[in-house]
Amino acid sequence: MEQPISVTRSNFNDWMVPVFAPANFIPVRGEGSRIWDQENKEYIDFAGGIAVNALGHAHPVAVNALTEQATKLWHVGNGYTNEPVLRLAKQLTEQTFADKVFFCNSGAEANEAALKLARKVGLDSGVAGKSGIVAFNNAFHGRTLFTVSAGGQPKYSQDFAPLPNGISHVAYNDLEAAKAVINEQTCAVIVEPVQGEGGVIPADIEFLKGLRALCDEFGALLIFDEVQTGVGRTGSLYAYMNYGVTPDVLTTAKALGGGFPVGAMLTTDKFAPHFSVGTHGTTYGGNPLASAVAGAVFEFINTPEVLEGVKHRHQYFLDALNTLNAEYQVFDEIRGQGLLIGCVLKAEYAGKAKDITTWAGEEGLLALIAGPNVVRFTPSLIIPEQDIDEGITRLKRALAKLAK
């Protein structure tokens, strides 16, 4: 066989559109919560591919589902349905509030579908101008023009004006502010139960309950963006289950495929029919390959053992991080749910989150940021305790560099 083309990190700058600034090493293989780079240096993975690799790397359940389906059928197009997608739809509707599912390939696409559905429901209501969308400051909903406009970080959207209009933003966890902008013209409220990219900020229960009541009062769809919080990440199958507040639409992606691209928009029999034949679509959405992997990953995660394991690991992580912090005094607050954990830097270290993750990389640890002041961890949901211990030891060496 021919040798593969030899490539290095500097080739990224040669050939790739520079929207990312990746670390200066290239991961080449992974197993569980460890990965190795081109030099065979080992890393503990506390990043989990940004809350995606819920079963770690190369988990046999996912590998088997993928390879089995790979020999049968990859893609047929939406002129035909397929067995894996129907099985996955059965799982998702049986295990959640939803009655119907629309499949796509990413979180942004799931939110795009949710927002378009809300606009369509608003139109069909017959109420003039029922197209307003209420969203929250610092929210993140994806990078399509509609979803980046719904997101609450103008730095991601302002360069692409003119933006879709009719979207208002108010402060997260501020029910009074939301009340002031939700009215008869509102077709949807979109919210993350825990803001992920925005800094790992859990919603207050009263806030979500209040949004539910306002949506009921004004006939607006309550959309929960669970792209990051879904599929076991918070210790429940979906974060709405922690809150006991049920949305009308829920979007899920990231961990759903355990690393294989897949997304879904879940909704009820009340709203699904507004998306009639031809009103929305996708080429790859619900393809057999993605659906087979997602079905296996979902089934594996949705067990009491795995979900309890996430809660247990949450406490284990927090204890270890608090012990570290007692020594180094770098974090003001350590917060989050399940294995979505954010460490907020003290004011004197403001803006240093990226440096910490760079130093962590040097020490053999993959970690994330959530804005300039929050170090974020979203590891595999089944990360072994000894990998947590080893990762914390490496983090400790990175923090020692900061403290200097």
Ligand X SMILES: *Cc1c(COP(=O)(O)O)cnc(C)c1O
* Binding interface with ligand X (CB under 6 A): 106-108, 111, 140-142, 192, 196-197, 225, 227-228, 253-254
- Residue ranges of alpha helices (H) inside 52-172 are 60-70, 83-95, 107-124, 145-150, 154-157
Catalytic-role residue among 37, 45, 225, 248: 225
Residue 172 CB, shortest distance to ligand X, in Å, is 12
Looking at the Cβ atoms of 37 and 228, the one nearer to ligand X is 228
Tell me if residue 298 is catalytic.
no
Task: Label residues 296-333 b or e (16+ Cβ within 10 Å = b).
Answer: bbbebbbeeebbebbeebbeebeebbeebbeeeebbee
Which of 254, 275, 317, 377 is labelled catalytic?
A: 254
The CB-of-197 to ligand X minimum distance in angstroms stands at: 6
Q: Hey, is 198 helix, strand or coil? A: coil
Please tell me the number of Cα atoms within 13 Å of 150 on its side-chain side.
Answer: 28
Q: Pick the catalytic residue from 103, 140, 224, 275.
A: 140
Give whichever of 36 and 284 is closer to ligand X, judged by the CB atom: 284
Residue 224 Cβ, how far from ligand X at the closest point, in Å?
Answer: 10
**H or E element in which residue 316 lies:** helix 304-328
Residue 140 or 218: the one with the smaller Cβ distance to ligand X is 140
**What's the min distance (Å) between Cβ of 69 and ligand X?**
21
CB nearer ligand X, residue 106 or residue 380: 106
With contact defined as beta carbons under 8 Å apart, do 241 and 63 qualify?
no
Listed in sequence order, the residues at least 6 apart from 186 whose beta carbon sits closer than 8 Å to its beta carbon are 130, 132, 133, 134, 215, 218, 220
* CB-CB contact of 149 with 157 (8 Å): yes
Exposure on the CB side of residue 115, measured as CA atoms within 13 A: 27
Q: Which two tokens stand for residue 112?
A: 């795009």
**Residue 210 Cβ, how far from ligand X at the closest point, in Å?**
20
Q: Provide, rounded to whole angstroms, the least separation between the CB of residue 151 and ligand X.
A: 8
Please say if 207 is a catalytic residue.
Answer: no
Phi, psi at 290, each rounded to 5° = -60, -40
Six-digit token string for 124: 């069909």
| Cis amide bond preceding 162, omega within 30 | yes
Containing H/E element for 276? none
207-243 b/e (C-beta count within 10 Å ≥ 16 → b): bbebbbebbeebebbbbbbbbbbbbbbbbbbbbbbbb
C-beta nearest to ligand X: residue: 107
Q: Using N-to-C axis directions, what is the helix angle for 60-70 and 288-301, rounded to 10°?
A: 160
Straight-line distance from the first to the last Cα atom of the chain, in angstroms, rounded to the nearest whole number = 50
* Contact criterion met (CB below 8 Å) for 366 and 43: yes
> Which lies closer to ligand X via its Cβ, residue 197 or residue 248?
197
**φ, ψ (nearest 5 deg) of residue 191:** -150, 145
User: Would you say 107 or 364 has its CB closer to ligand X?
Assistant: 107
**248 belongs to the catalytic site:** no
User: In whole angstroms, how close is the CB of 80 to ligand X at the nearest point?
Assistant: 25
| Residue 378 or 394 having the CB closest to ligand X | 378
CB of 51 to ligand X, least distance (A): 7
Closest CB to ligand X among 173 and 183? 173
Catalytic residues: 140, 225, 254
